[in-house]
Structure 1
Amino acid sequence: MAGLVLGVLIGLGIMDLDLNNTFVIGVITVPFGLGFVYLFYILLERKWKKTVVVIKDEINDIGKHE
């Protein structure tokens, strides 16, 4: 995603970036990566909280008639 944003900004001439300097590109893209990892964590956490598995204690039902 960060690559897409940088590509559009460089293509439109809004941002002039030396593409041979990989350190600068790495420093720019690290916050994007951390942000997307955090968003992915939040989405998974919400989904897992909605799907709660109810464990039925069936050992107490042994020998009982229906």
Structure 2
Amino acid sequence: MSRPVPAPPQVIPSGQGGPCAKCGKATLRYGVGGNPLCPSCRAVREAEVAAQKGARSGSSAGV
């Protein structure tokens, strides 16, 4: 089983960085492409949301 490849370091312009809302690692928080989560935490969150959508769509037929 292969390990996931870590994301390349993020370039954070002056005044647009801040801590990740989940893990506290420095990330691009403001401006174009800004997000309160770092790329690693964002990937985990997107996987969780996708799993929840998959679980809901399979069990809520007709709702």
More helix by share: 1
More strand by share: 2
Give your verdict on TM over 0.5.
Answer: no
The TM-score, its normalising length taken from structure 1, stands at 0.41
Q: Say which one has the larger Rg.
A: 1
- Higher relative contact order by CA 8 Å / sep ≥ 6: 1 or 2? 1
